Structure 1
Amino acid sequence: MKKSTKGALAAGAAVVLLLGGAGTLAYWTADGDADGGSITAGTLTLTDGDCGDDWVYAVGSASAGDAVELFVPGDVVSKVCTFDLEATGDNLEATIALPTTFTPTETPAATSAEFEVDGAFAIAGGVVANDRVIANGDSVTSDDDGSTVTVTIDVTIPFGTDETGVPVVNGNDMQGLLAEFDDITVTLTQVNPN
């Protein structure tokens, strides 16, 4: 065999070996550890409300401020409750809200009974002492941490329909009704501030 043929075969064999071992070529690597450290989560809490016992007629209503004894459709009744707010977190934002409707325990049951809920929130104190009044569904932030939240809960008993309404709302079956107002929950819900 000629030297040139032997050299070509040797070169071809070297190429095959290199291609076959392409995945196993060695190269240098190094790594170093970063100190993971720790981070701490914020908090979002609201105490149970401290409320007066009696419902009164809401501001702007007939008999405003008087205790409710015998309500009728068209009335708006009100109660004031205070809560303590804890809101910590670098980028914390949360809505504070009341439900829009609720069904009290009714005696006797009234199929046409309808009650609507709304209210306003007075925020006092906090980290920034940012005293203000906000509407149902507005936001609080960590600036409000440590605040006292005074909630004015307004329950509207809509004037309703006559007995031919479809559906009948706050009709004759409400007469003499005893409405036991169970807990009305104030809810904090975190929102994405970005």
Structure 2
Amino acid sequence: MNKFVKGSIAGAAGITLLLGGLGSFALWNDSTTVTAGAVNSGELQIVESAAEGSWAPKLAHIVPGDTVTYTETFTVKAKGDNLHAQLIANVGEPASKITGAEVTTNFSVSGGATRDPANKNLYTFDQGTYEVKVTITVVFDWTTAGRTGQNQTFTPGPVTVSLEQVLLP
């Protein structure tokens, strides 16, 4: 090859490299910073009231056909969106029983919580404070005959009231 062709090829390659390098400086670019807002967690808490619960009616001794109810009040603090929770009362094994008497528990919640019609212990809480009453009812069956259940005492075991969040489909 002659010197002129070799020089032309070398010159063209050099110009191509220079133009390629300069081309990267010609692209526009920009950036910005996004400041995301905070996400706060809610709260679900149950607190026993300062006042002690009580039995009603006040009976010295129950007899077949009587029903007595122990009521204790709690406060639920709810803070969150789409907050669903189940109230659960676990009555421990009674220290003593009255033969022929049946024990049940129930809840009532005031303050606007919505109770699920299919699951009576499932509630939807809006943000706020709610009063929860748990009742333990003792029904002494009126058909109890003979001396069954006489001179006995019902002493409930420890009662644990729980509030558990539930995820709905």
* One of 86, 97, 101 as aligned partner of 2:88: 97
- Equivalent residue for 1:154? 137
Q: Determine helix, strand or coil for the equivalent of 1:78.
A: strand
Q: Which amino acid aligns with 2:106?
A: G
Superposition RMSD on alpha carbons, in Å?
Answer: 3.8
1:18-57 CA-partner distances (Å, limit 9, x unpaired)? xxxxxxxxxxxxxxxx98876443221111244555412x
- Equivalent residue for 1:117? 104
Rg larger in 1 or in 2? 2
Structure 1: distance between partners of 2:136 and 2:98: 24
- Equivalent residue for 1:45? 45
Aligned residues: 135
- Equivalent residue for 1:189? 164
* Structure 1 position 149, deviation (Å): 2.3
Closer, same or farther: CA 160–122 of 1 in aligned 2, 3 Å: same
Closer, same or farther: CA 184–52 of 1 in aligned 2, 3 Å: same
**Higher relative strand content:** 2
Is the contact made by 1:49 and 1:83 (CA closer than 8 Å) also made in structure 2?
yes
Percent of paired sites with the same residue: 22
* Aligned 1:10-21 pairs, distance under 5 A: none
- Normalising by structure 2, we get a TM-score of 0.58
Closer, same or farther: CA 131–139 of 1 in aligned 2, 3 Å: closer
1:134-178 CA-partner distances (Å, limit 9, x unpaired)? 8951313234x3222233442334456668xxxxxxx72x32112
- Normalising by structure 1, we get a TM-score of 0.52
Q: Which amino acid aligns with 2:134?
A: V
Unaligned runs of 5+ in 2: 1-33
* Aligned 1:132-171 pairs, distance under 5 A: 136-143=120-127, 145-159=128-142
Q: Determine helix, strand or coil for the equivalent of 1:193.
A: coil
Q: Which amino acid aligns with 1:46?
A: I
Larger relative contact order, structure 1 or 2 (CA cutoff 8 Å, min sep 6): 2
Q: Determine helix, strand or coil for the equivalent of 2:59.
A: coil
Q: Which amino acid aligns with 1:67?
A: K
